[in-house]
């Protein structure tokens, strides 16, 4: 059942198969929680948002026509609910999503470059380390923590693009942001993750 | 400061690291793409940097969902049964 596509599981759950429902929930739960928690102030509220989303999915399932992927539809519902919950919890959420994202965050600290823009302190090496020497589970935990530590909007984009593997178009649709904002947020988020891994595992070359 | 205009023919490393995502997203103009690739050809550090960004994306993509606790699983089953009760047959 774990190998079934979302569409197959959806058909099964419509037919009354509760295992199909749980499989679908399990498959998307982590990403939904990560996304929800980027809009609301506490883990408890994030969990409520996720539950609430599934209630909405079950109620609205007759209206799902399969024109978008189930995932995209699911995440849209989640984001809408999370935004509402976030506003209710009086947490400031970014408004005016079409406005340009601040462009002042450097991918690499300026202090690592010489005055003319060449590397002063070049990237420390860690790829071989990550592939061969580090315990894979530990590294995954490290990455998970680093993703959780990203600024909210960067985290939303990184989770959807790089963890979930949505296309940039799908991410723009789910988060209601422009293509260029999506790219800037992705760039900042990925750059921070790279830096975190370098800081954690790098060795001077 | 970050979106440095690519006025000069040659990129410097500090500019190159800001182009990585646009490069990977295929969002650079042909001219900028050629400048970036020319820079890489002569700069092992920026080549390493690009490889690290690719590896970062791969590692992030390898994260697997955490499992549901038994409690959560029970909660979701209850939620589903309630819905089934309201929608006895399709």
- Distance between CA atoms of A82 and A97, rounded to whole angstroms? 15
CA dihedral B76, B81, B82, B83 (to 10 degrees): 90
- Distance between CA atoms of B90 and B84, rounded to whole angstroms? 10
HSE value, Cβ hemisphere, 13 Å, CA-based, for B53: 25
Query: Residues of B with CB below 8 A from A107's CB?
Result: 2, 17-18, 20
ipTM comes to 0.90
Using the 8-state DSSP alphabet, how is residue A111 labeled?
Answer: G
Question: From the list A21, A105, A168, which residue is nearest B25 (CB)?
Answer: A168
pLDDT, tens digit, 9 for 90 and up, residues A110-124? 999 999 999 999 999
User: In total, how many domains does chain B have?
Assistant: 1
Q: Do A72 and A167 form a contact (C-beta atoms < 8 A)?
A: no
The number of beta carbons lying within 10 Å of the beta carbon of residue A23 is 20
In this prediction, residue B57 carries a pLDDT of: 98
Q: Is residue B1 part of a domain?
A: no
Kindly report the nearest CA distance between residue A135 and chain B, in angstroms: 13
The token pair at B81 is: 């049964």
Question: From the list A16, A21, A190, which residue is nearest B21 (CB)?
Answer: A190
Kindly report the nearest CA distance between residue A127 and chain B, in angstroms: 7
Q: Is residue B74 part of a domain?
A: yes
Range of the domain at B17: 13-86
DSSP strands (E only) in chain B: none
CATH number at B74 reads 1.10.10.1320
Across the interface, do A162 and B57 touch by the CB < 8 Å criterion? yes
A47 contact partners, CB below 8 Å, separation of at least 6: A33, A36
Which mean pLDDT values do the consecutive 10-residue runs of chain B (90 residues) have? 54 96 97 96 97 98 92 93 77
Per-residue pLDDT in tens (0 to 9) along chain A, 205 residues: 777 898 899 989 888 899 999 999 999 999 999 999 999 999 999 999 999 999 999 998 888 888 889 999 999 999 999 999 988 876 455 554 545 566 679 999 999 999 999 999 999 999 998 988 888 899 999 999 999 999 999 999 999 999 999 999 999 999 999 999 999 999 999 999 999 999 999 998 7
In this prediction, residue A96 carries a pLDDT of: 45
Q: Is residue B2 part of a domain?
A: no
Residue of chain A minimizing CA distance to B85: A16
Q: Is residue B6 part of a domain?
A: no
Q: Is residue B72 part of a domain?
A: yes
What are the structural domains, with CATH classification, of chain A? 6-88 (1.10.1740.10), 110-201 (1.10.10.10)
């Amino acid at each position: 059942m774990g190998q079934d596509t979302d569409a197959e599981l959806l058909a099964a759950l419509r037919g009354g198969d509760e295992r199909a429902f749980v499989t679908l929930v399990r498959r998307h739960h982590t990403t939904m929680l990560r996304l929800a928690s980027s809009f609301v102030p506490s883990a408890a509220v994030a969990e409520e948002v996720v539950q609430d989303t599934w209630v909405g999915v079950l109620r609205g399932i007759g209206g799902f026509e399969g024109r978008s992927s189930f995932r995209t539809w699911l995440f849209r519902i989640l984001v809408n609910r999370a935004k509402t919950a976030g506003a209710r919890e009086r947490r400031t959420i970014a408004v005016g999503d079409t406005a340009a994202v601040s462009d002042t965050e450097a991918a690499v600290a300026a202090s690592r470059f010489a005055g003319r823009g060449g590397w002063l302190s070049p990237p420390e090496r860690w790829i071989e380390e990550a592939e061969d020497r580090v315990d894979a589970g530990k590294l995954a935990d490290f990455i998970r923590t680093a993703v959780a530590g990203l600024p909210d909007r960067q985290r939303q984009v990184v989770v959807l693009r790089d963890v979930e593997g949505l296309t940039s178009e799908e991410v723009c649709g789910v988060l209601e942001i422009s293509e260029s904002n999506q790219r800037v947020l992705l760039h900042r988020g990925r750059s921070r993750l790279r830096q975190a891994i370098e800081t954690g595992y790098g060795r001077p070359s | 400061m970050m979106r440095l205009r690519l006025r000069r023919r040659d990129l410097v490393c500090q500019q190159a690291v800001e182009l990585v995502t646009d490069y990977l997203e295929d969002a650079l103009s042909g001219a900028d793409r050629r400048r970036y690739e020319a820079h890489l050809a002569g700069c092992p550090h920026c080549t390493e940097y690009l490889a690290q960004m690719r590896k970062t994306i791969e590692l992030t993509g390898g994260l697997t969902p955490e499992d549901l606790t038994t409690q959560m699983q029970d909660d979701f089953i209850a939620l589903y049964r309630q819905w089934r009760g309201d929608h006895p047959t399709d």
